[in-house]
């Protein structure tokens, strides 16, 4: 993280109506925010927000999705457990979106198939 903000889009698709995606917003020095968009930007929903202070060092970031359950890890620590029960997004691409006046370095991207045993939800 050099400066600014990044959206990591998960299960991302788009059409003439807008974007469909779950995404995690990462901002330098602030919280991690899990959000969902079904259509135009006005449809963005806040799903979960947790405190995490970013610095300019390298961090390990992981999103695990199985069915309608999402887990978000930073530096191997589980920070978000979320079950989407309202129109869940179950497929799509992984994309990265840097926000205005932002700079991030992304390295070693891996996409893996997981099973139910790899996901955590109480």
CA pair distance 5, 23, nearest whole angstrom = 12
Domain count, the chain: 1
Q: Give the CATH number for residue 85.
A: 2.60.120.560
pLDDT digits (tens, 9 = 90+) for 67-116: 999 999 999 999 999 999 999 999 999 999 999 999 989 999 999 999 99
Range of the structural domain that residue 92 is part of: 5-118
CA pair distance 76, 40, nearest whole angstrom = 33
Asked if 47 and 84 count as a contact pair (C-beta separation under 8 A), the reply is yes
Q: What own/partner pairs with CB < 8 Å and gap ≥ 24 does 48-51 have?
A: 48/80, 48/82, 50/79, 50/80
Confidence class of residue 2 from pLDDT cuts 50, 70 and 90?
confident
Report field, pTM of the whole predicted structure over 0.85 = yes
Tokens representing 33 are 């925010």
- When mean pLDDT is compared across 7-11, 27-31, 41-45, the lowest value belongs to 27-31
């Amino acid at each position: 993280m050099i400066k600014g903000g990044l959206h990591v889009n998960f299960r991302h698709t788009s059409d003439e109506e807008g974007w469909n995606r779950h995404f995690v917003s990462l901002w330098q020095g602030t919280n991690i925010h899990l959000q969902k968009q079904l259509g135009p930007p006005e449809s963005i929903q806040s799903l979960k927000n947790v405190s995490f202070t970013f610095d300019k060092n390298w961090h390990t970031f992981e999103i695990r999705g199985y069915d309608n359950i999402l887990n978000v890890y930073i530096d191997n620590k589980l920070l978000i457990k979320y079950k989407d029960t309202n129109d869940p997004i179950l497929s799509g691409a992984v994309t990265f979106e840097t926000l205005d006046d932002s700079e991030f370095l992304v390295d070693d991207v891996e996409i893996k198939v997981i099973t139910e045993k790899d996901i955590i939800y109480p």
